[in-house]
Chains A and B, each alone.
Chain A
Amino acid sequence: MKVKLLAFSLLSGSTFLLVGASLTNSASAQCVMADVSVQYNISGSRQPTDRTNDVRQDSNGRCRGNSVVTTGVQGNVGGNGRVEQRRTVRQQINGSNDGIGGKPVKVRVNVPIDVYNPADNLRY
């Protein structure tokens, strides 16, 4: 009787394991898309810097275990004329449609800095 019970338990447990394994996705890290940038201008110009930071982060399908990271620093020190800063970033992750993974985590950071320095207007 005990052996029968044991066999039945084994069979039931195995069935649960099979069903569980086929229905559950394994734990996995999602993909990350990150862009971090600093744009600064320290000059004798009182005009604000004409500045753009155009970042596009595209993704297709589900994805895991991949990352895209770009960084940029764009700066000007000195002078007293108008300054223009343009930055363009395109990031793309193409995943798969097998149901594993998820949508990428998207991070964007841009720090614009303008500092007026009157000393730049002095000519010796």
Chain B
Amino acid sequence: MNIKKVVIVGCCTGILATAIALGAGKGDRSMSYAETEQMQRTTISLDAADLQEPHILKVSTNSSSGRLSEVKIKVDGRTISTAKNSPIELNLSPMLGRGKHTIEILGNYSPGDSSVQIEFSGPGTQVSQQTSGNGAIAHTIVVDVQ
């Protein structure tokens, strides 16, 4: 009788221990969350004579699955374009005269692991900025026209 009890207790304890051991390896008990932020700023100088030619700002995603959303383009603090679709192409030459000009490109893209390409190109100059990882676009190009 005593032996039977011991066997039953032993079996129950074994089952319980196995259940605990298996359960310990499952489920993510360590909740964590991550945040990222990325900003890029490039300053270049341009010859005023070159502004007679187009200077194109292009914003696009590098993959077919990537999408832009609520992209806002500002020149010297003034919003000149609010676009939802990719790619975005604008000629900025008419908005640039002698002096320093700040071009801001702000918005979002998805999925976060795709990438966004920003290009500003004119005769003899090409500025490019590429970002990926967090889904937010925060780029600035400062053009000093001399």
Write the residues of chain A forming the contact surface with B, with a CB cutoff of 8 angstroms.
3-4, 6-8, 10-11, 13-15, 17-18, 20-22, 24, 26-28, 31, 61-79, 81-96, 98, 100-101, 120
A76 to chain B: which residues have CB within 8 Å?
42, 44, 125-128
Contact A70 B133 (CB under 8 A): yes
Write the residues of chain B forming the contact surface with A, with a CB cutoff of 8 angstroms.
3, 6-7, 9-11, 13-14, 16-18, 20-21, 24-25, 28-46, 113, 115, 124-134, 142, 144, 146
A61 to chain B: which residues have CB within 8 Å?
32
Q: Could you tell me the distance between the alpha carbons of A31 and B31 in the complex, rounded to whole angstroms?
A: 12
B38 to chain A: which residues have CB within 8 Å?
70, 72, 87-90
CB distance from A71 to the nearest CB of B (A): 5
Q: Could you tell me the distance between the alpha carbons of A14 and B13 in the complex, rounded to whole angstroms?
A: 6
CB distance from A99 to the nearest CB of B (A): 9
CB distance from A105 to the nearest CB of B (A): 14
Q: Which B residue's beta carbon lies closest to that of A72?
A: B131
Q: Could you tell me the distance between the alpha carbons of A66 and B46 in the complex, rounded to whole angstroms?
A: 44
A98 to chain B: which residues have CB within 8 Å?
29-30
